[in-house]
Amino acid sequence: PILTVLIGANGAGKSNLLSLFEMFRAVTERRLQPYCVSHGRSEALLHYGPKITSRLTLRIDFGGVTLAAFTTGFLGVSTKGRL
Cα gap 15→44, rounded to integer Å: 15
Cα gap 81→43, rounded to integer Å: 6
Cα gap 67→60, rounded to integer Å: 6
Q: What is the pTM of this model?
A: 0.57
pLDDT at position 82: 40
- Mean per-residue pLDDT, 54-62: 77
Nearest to 24 by CA among 57, 64, 61: 57
- Mean per-residue pLDDT, 74-78: 44
Bridge partners, residue 71, by sequence = 57
Bridge partners, residue 3, by sequence = none
pLDDT at position 73: 58
* Inter-residue contact 29 to 22 (CB < 8 Å): no
- Mean per-residue pLDDT, 17-29: 85
Say if residue 81's pLDDT is above 50: no
